[in-house]
Structures are given as C-alpha cells and as structure tokens.
C-alpha cells in the first residue's frame, strides 16, 4: 500500500449502494412503471440490445429527484473532508453519466464524472480498466460496495468498503489494502413490520362485524373463517401499502415524517420491498381462493381499487372520499361473504354513512393540519384536490354523514326486523347517544388538528373510544 500517495492520488467513489443507499436503476424502473405500467413490455426489447441501452432508455423516460435521494452521510462526510483537504474526488458509476452529473449538481465535490453510456456499461472489470487508463495502475483509491467492484479493488491503491458482506471483505482483503469500512444500520424485523403497516390491519377487524351482528360468534367454524379472511385481507392490504410506498418514493422523501419510512429511507431496498409485496399479494390471493371464488373476486377488486386510489383517485376531490368510504364498507361485505350471511339493509346503510363521515374526517384533518403547520391561509393552497376554503364544507358534510348513521341505527332499533335478533331491543337505545357522543368527539378532535392520518386507527388506539365500544357491546349482550 502506498500510504504517501494515498493522500494525493484521486479518490474514486461508486454511486449506487455507496454514495447513495439505493440503486438508481431500480429507482428509475419504479418511476417508469408508475408513469405507465405498459413500459414493462418495452424493457424486453431494450434488454436484448444490452444493459447499457436498457439503462439509457429507462433513465431517459423518467425524472429522478436527485436532491431527495438517501445519501450515505458517512461516505458523503468523508468525501467532503477529503475535498476540503484539496484531494481530487471522482465519481465513477454504472448508472448513466447523465444521472451522475445530476448527483454532482446536488453535491459539487467531483472533479471528474464518469458513467454508463448508451454503448458501454461502466461496471466491474470494464470500470476497473477504464480507471487504470485514466489514472494508472494503483494510482487511485476506490470506494465500493459489491462483489462487482472486486476487479476494481485489485487495481486500486487503497480500498474503501461500504456495507460489505463477510465474503466481500475477505475477497477485497485478498487483492487490496482495505483502508476503511463503513457499516450503516440494516433493516430490522421492526422495519419490515412498519413497512407492511401492520398497525393498519386494525381496519380489517371490520370483517368481524357480520359475525357479531348476525350473532354467529358462537360458531367456532365461522369464527375461524372470519379470522382467516382477516389474515387474507391483511396480506393483500400490506402488499398494496408496499407498492404504494415504492411508487411514492419521491413524495415521501419530501415529507417531514414519511421520509423516515423503511423504503423511502432505503433501510429496506427497493428489490426486497417489491419481492415482499409480490409474496404477500400471491399468498393473499391463494388464501382468498381457498375460501370462495366470490371472496377471491372481492379481494382482487379491493386491491385494484385501493391501488388505483393510491396512484390517482386520492388526488380527485370527492371521488377520493366516497371511494375511501367504499373501501371501508367492502371489508364489512367481505366479512359477510366469508361466513355466508346476508347483510341487512340497516347494516349497509349504517356502514355507508359512518364510513363516509370518517372519510371526510381524514381529508378535513389533513387540511386543518396544513393550515396549522404551514400557515396556509390562501384560498388557492390545496392538498389532494381540496383548497383551504373547502374546510367548512368538508366539516358540514362529514358531521351530517355521521349523524345520519345514528339516525339509521335509531330507525333500526324501532324496526320489526330487530325482534328476530334481540328480545329486549329497547336496551339498545343508549347506543344511539354513545354514537352521537363518539362522532361529535371525533370531529371536535379533528377540528383541533389532533386527528391522526386514519380515524379508525385513532379510534382503536383511543381509551375513550374503547370505553364506548365496550359499553356498546355490553348493551348488545343485555338486549339479547
């Protein structure tokens, strides 16, 4: 190892997995699919023309927000320190040279920039030979992260490793002097649980509503079927959450809270996130088919609708709210299909109005928080299709929907159908007041800007809501 030269010879760094904690090719591919899923068929002829050509076409049809990429702060700080000491810093990557130039605009440290062209894929031995021609054998230091960099390490002066596997460390040490190694935090089980948003499974408890309202909970078989349906719905929903995070990478990285999500922060690589999404979706659909083909159809319809909502419809005013209410109601309908019971008109009507109210809560609270956090006072400032001036209207429509749900429930108590399930239906009347209080409280909390992203998740974490649900359950038992 030439230690003296190490302070003066060029320091060359790789980009993907090294300077940034993600891979630009996968980032661009996800953006390509988001732009138009049919591009996946174009990738086949592009691939046949070589990987360099494939990269040029994928990157040429996408726009990456280079300033929001998850940069490796440890490596970046090291480069800045070397740059401040007067050292020549070089960026050499297998990503297209255009992408490397955009990174250099974000971090102007590099004296020279090299990348893949439409005909040459600057990777592994090809990159190593190129750097030798530029600087000479053992006349540059190199920072890399994968086994593809071993031929380059064999020709450099000092090697720097980023998140290397044990085998890469051994292989590199056998061909070069390892000057420094950086290890960033790997994804934990907690990160994967967070990525699939397991806490959102609480909403899938709605599948048990038909089991309870039909008084079928005494049947172990039906209870097991409902639980299996709950698991299936949760798996498919998590697949949707993962795909949504993959397609919303740019927006999430600009968000003060969402930028810390496991996929947005690159703790979970894009490839692993995609594989996990495909696995959960496949497992969920297979499980749904085992229950019934009607349930299978509902699950597919839910996934497509939910995915369409995440990509497009959530930005269309009113369409988003009614679709969100529909996605809540679908869970109740799916729960009825699983145990093969008919939903009553009253339950359908009640679900429609209560979920519509909660959907309005979600949009209303987002606007309130926007005003409070960013001081948005202009009527033109918008969030997901809604302007600040819509706040009052959203509140009126939401509160009215919630109170209509209570009216439906009150009419149900006074209907002839209720005598088929309850011997003492008059005992259910206090539930109307409990619902009125709960809805009023939800909207009061929203008006104060303290509502979380999802009102159902909030309700199932709220002690007061638990007390109301418990009292409702006791009254229902007393009415039987």
**Burial class of residue 392 in the structure, from the number of CB atoms within 10 Å of its CB (0-12 exposed, 13-18 middle, 19+ buried):** exposed
Q: Tell me how crowded residue 393 is: count the other CB atoms within 10 A of its CB.
A: 12
For residue 224, pLDDT beyond 80: yes
What's the mean pLDDT in 223-228?
95
Counts of helices then strands in the chain (DSSP H, E): 20, 8
pLDDT at position 4, please?
43
145-155 tens-digit pLDDT: 999 999 999 99
pLDDT at position 320, please?
86
What's the mean pLDDT in 17-43?
92
Helix (H, G, I), strand (E, B) or coil at 196: coil
* pLDDT classification of 382: cutoffs 50, 70, 90: low
Domains in the chain, ordered, with CATH?
Answer: 5-182 (3.40.50.1000), 187-343 (1.10.357.140), 361-480 (no CATH)
Of residues 89 and 365, which shows the higher confidence score? 89
For residue 3, pLDDT beyond 50: no
Of 172-186, 228-242, 243-257, 450-464, which range is least confident? 450-464
- Alpha-carbon distance of 467 to 84, in angstroms, equals 61
Nearest to 305 by CA among 318, 292, 322: 322
For residue 95, pLDDT beyond 60: yes
- Alpha-carbon distance of 90 to 76, in angstroms, equals 13
For residue 456, pLDDT beyond 90: no
For residue 111, pLDDT beyond 60: yes
384, two tokens: 């997901």
For residue 378, pLDDT beyond 90: no
Of residues 38 and 127, which shows the higher confidence score? 127
**Helices in 183-259 by DSSP H: which ranges?**
189-195, 209-213, 220-247, 249-254
């Amino acid at each position: 190892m030439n230690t003296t030269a190490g302070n003066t010879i060029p320091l060359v760094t790789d980009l993907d997995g090294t300077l940034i904690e993600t891979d630009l090719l996968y980032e661009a591919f996800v953006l390509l699919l988001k732009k138009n899923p049919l591009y996946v068929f174009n990738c086949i002829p592009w691939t046949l023309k070589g990987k360099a050509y494939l990269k040029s076409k994928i990157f040429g049809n996408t726009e990456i927000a280079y300033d929001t990429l998850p940069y490796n702060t440890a490596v970046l700080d090291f480069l800045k320190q070397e740059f401040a000491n007067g050292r020549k810093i070089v960026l050499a990557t297998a990503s297209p040279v255009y992408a490397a130039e955009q990174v250099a605009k974000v971090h102007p440290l590099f004296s020279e920039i090299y990348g893949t062209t439409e005909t040459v894929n600057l990777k592994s031995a090809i990159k190593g030979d190129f750097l030798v021609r530029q600087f000479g054998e053992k006349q540059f230091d190199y920072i890399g992260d994968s086994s593809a960099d071993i031929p380059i390490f064999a020709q450099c002066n000092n090697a720097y490793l980023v998140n290397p596997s044990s085998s890469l460390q051994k292989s590199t040490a056998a061909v070069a002097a390892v000057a420094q190694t950086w290890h960033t935090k790997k994804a934990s089980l907690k990160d994967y649980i967070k990525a699939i948003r397991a806490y959102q499974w609480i909403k899938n408890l709605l599948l048990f509503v038909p089991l309870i309202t039909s008084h079928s909970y005494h049947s172990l078989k039906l209870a097991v079927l409902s639980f299996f349906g709950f698991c299936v719905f949760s798996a498919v929903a998590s697949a949707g959450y993962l795909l949504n995070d993959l397609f919303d990478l740019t927006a999430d990285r600009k968000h003060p809270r969402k930028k810390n999500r496991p996929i947005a922060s690159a703790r979970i690589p894009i490839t692993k996130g995609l594989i996990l999404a495909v696995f959960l979706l496949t497992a969920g659909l297979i499980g749904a088919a085992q229950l019934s083909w009607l349930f299978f159809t509902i699950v597919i319809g839910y996934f497509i609708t939910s995915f369409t909502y995440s990509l497009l419809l959530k930005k269309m005013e009113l369409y988003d709210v009614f679709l969100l209410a529909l996605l809540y109601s679908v869970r109740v309908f799916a729960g009825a299909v699983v145990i093969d019971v008919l939903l009553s008109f009253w339950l359908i009507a009640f679900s429609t109005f209560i979920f519509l109210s909660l959907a309005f809560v979600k949009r209303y609270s987002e606007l309130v928080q926007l005003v409070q956090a960013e001081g948005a006072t202009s009527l033109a400032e918008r969030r997901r299709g809604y302007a600040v001036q819509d706040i009052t209207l959203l509140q009126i429509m939401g509160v009215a929907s919630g109170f209509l749900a209570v009216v439906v429930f009150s009419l149900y108590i006074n209907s002839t159908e209720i005598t088929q399930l309850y011997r003492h239906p008059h005992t259910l009347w206090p539930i109307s007041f409990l619902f009125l209080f709960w809805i009023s409280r939800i909207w009061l909390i929203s008006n104060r800007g303290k509502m979380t992203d999802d009102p159902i998740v909030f309700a199932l974490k709220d002690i007061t809501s638990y007390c109301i649900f418990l009292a409702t359950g006791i009254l229902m038992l007393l009415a039987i």
